[in-house]
């Protein structure tokens, strides 16, 4: 495993971690793997996902209960995602501009990342890269989904799937501090395996399996758990939503929006296969890339400032 040119300089450079000793307590997902308990505020925010428009006030009240969460949502709304002319000053304004489902998704994503990042000082820059990547994928998959003729769910739901597709990696950071970091940070070339391979080798499960466990245990929607579990399986291509997440994931890697532990050089299915599967013309694909490059600056700048 080598350092490839153009890699994000904040990532540490290490050798292939296959030679590292495995953790003293290997992860046994059926017996001793414990998912941390879900924060109370998150239970209530997740419950608002199923409700109708009347839950806007409820969501606002929940977010305002946690001033740090409210402040982060406002900062995100103002800088990283949406370039509104007027600044977003209140949560109710954010809900009105972005929509209740996007604000709910952001609240869930911020809350989960915060829960697992607490105390992870030495690896916080890597987790920040993952969060940047996740936001990039969320933004891209929403864009892809909005244009897709194959959509059977709202584009806001696609956004949530993009935001949480790699959530299993956050659990691995938490469960194996100092061990998962080097595996995640090592640059992977065309001849190296994908990160799921190293996760399976070291921990007996990959981030897709672990992410699904978290999603199920924390009561996230079934379909979201399904997308998280299968977002690297080529056999899942018949699901348009999973195809869209896969395509957004590879695009975010290609455009270097954050980092998710894998350069995507060995990805299967390939970018071109996903493009044709989603019936995206070359013209549309170039437009998507342009959109992503424009947004990338905002996202990267935001995450550099707030890390
Ligand atoms: Fe992944
Ligand atoms: Fe990813």
In the chain, domain spans: 38-118, 122-307
Ligand nearest to the CA of 252: 2
pLDDT single digits (tens) 126-163: 998 999 899 999 989 998 998 877 666 788 899 999 99
pLDDT single digits (tens) 185-221: 987 777 778 899 999 988 889 999 999 999 998 889 9
C-alpha separations of 259 from 2, 11, 138, 185, 276 in Å: 16, 9, 14, 9, 25
Q: How far is the CA of 166 from the centre of ligand 1 (A)?
A: 5
The pLDDT of residue 304 is 59
| Nearest one of 256, 243, 172, 237 to 208, comparing CA atoms | 172
Ligand nearest to the CA of 259: 2
The pLDDT of residue 40 is 84
pLDDT single digits (tens) 254-263: 888 999 998 8
Q: How far is the CA of 185 from the centre of ligand 1 (A)?
A: 14
Q: How far is the CA of 182 from the centre of ligand 1 (A)?
A: 17
Give the whole-angstrom CA distance, residue 161 versus residue 141: 8
- 157: buried, middle or exposed (CB in 10 Å: 19+, 13-18, 0-12)? buried
The pLDDT of residue 82 is 61
Mapped onto helix, strand or coil, the DSSP state of residue 39 is coil
User: What residues have a C-beta under 5 A from ligand 2, the ion?
Assistant: 166, 249, 260
**pTM for the whole structure:** 0.85
- Nearest 5°: CA angle at 24, between 19 and 30? 110
Start-to-end CA span in the chain (Å): 28
Q: How far is the CA of 44 from the centre of ligand 1 (A)?
A: 27
Ligand nearest to the CA of 207: 1
Q: How far is the CA of 231 from the centre of ligand 1 (A)?
A: 6
Ligand nearest to the CA of 137: 2
Ligand nearest to the CA of 141: 2
Mapped onto helix, strand or coil, the DSSP state of residue 5 is coil
Q: How far is the CA of 65 from the centre of ligand 1 (A)?
A: 32
Asked if pLDDT for residue 183 goes beyond 90, the answer is yes
Q: How far is the CA of 94 from the centre of ligand 2 (A)?
A: 26
User: What residues have a C-beta under 5 A from ligand 1, the ion?
Assistant: 166
Q: How far is the CA of 133 from the centre of ligand 2 (A)?
A: 7
Report CA torsion sign: 288, 71, 58, 107.
Answer: positive
Q: How far is the CA of 237 from the centre of ligand 1 (A)?
A: 15
The pLDDT of residue 19 is 46
List CB contacts of 285: < 8 A, sequence separation 6 or more. Answer: 275
Structure tokens at 83: 């370039």
Which position has the higher pLDDT, 83 or 114? 114
> Residue 190: how many CB atoms within 10 A of its CB?
8
Pick the CATH number of 122-307 from 3.60.21.10, 1.10.10.10, 1.10.3210.10, 1.20.1090.10: 1.10.3210.10
């Amino acid at each position: 495993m080598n350092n490839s040119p153009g890699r994000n300089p904040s990532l540490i450079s290490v050798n292939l971690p296959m030679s590292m000793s495995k953790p003293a307590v290997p992860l046994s997902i059926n017996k001793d793997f414990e998912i941390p308990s879900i924060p109370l505020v998150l239970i209530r925010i997740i419950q608002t996902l199923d409700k109708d428009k009347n839950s806007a006030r409820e969501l606002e009240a929940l977010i305002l209960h946690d001033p740090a969460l409210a402040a982060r949502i406002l900062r995100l709304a103002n800088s990283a995602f949406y370039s509104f002319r007027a600044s977003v000053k209140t949560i109710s304004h954010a809900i009105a501009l972005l929509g209740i489902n996007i604000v709910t998704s952001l609240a869930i994503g911020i809350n989960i990342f915060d829960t697992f990042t607490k105390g992870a000082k030495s690896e916080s820059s890597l987790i920040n890269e993952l969060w940047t990547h996740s936001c990039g994928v969320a933004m891209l998959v929403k864009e892809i989904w909005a244009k897709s003729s194959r959509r059977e769910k709202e584009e806001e739901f696609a956004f949530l799937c993009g935001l949480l597709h790699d959530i299993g990696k956050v659990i691995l950071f938490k469960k194996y501090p100092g061990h998962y970091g080097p595996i995640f940070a090592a640059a992977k070339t065309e001849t190296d395996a994908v990160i799921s391979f190293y996760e399976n080798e070291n921990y007996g499960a990959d981030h897709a399996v672990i992410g699904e466990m978290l999603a199920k245990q924390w009561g996230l929607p079934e379909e979201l758990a399904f997308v998280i579990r299968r977002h690297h399986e080529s056999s899942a291509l018949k699901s348009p939503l999973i195809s869209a997440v896969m395509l957004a994931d590879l695009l975010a890697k290609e455009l270097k929006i954050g980092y998710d532990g894998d350069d995507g050089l060995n990805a299967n299915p390939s970018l071109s296969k996903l493009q044709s599967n989603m019936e995206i013309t070359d013209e549309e694909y170039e437009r998507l890339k342009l959109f992503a490059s424009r947004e990338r600056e905002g996202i990267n700048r935001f995450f550099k400032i707030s890390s």
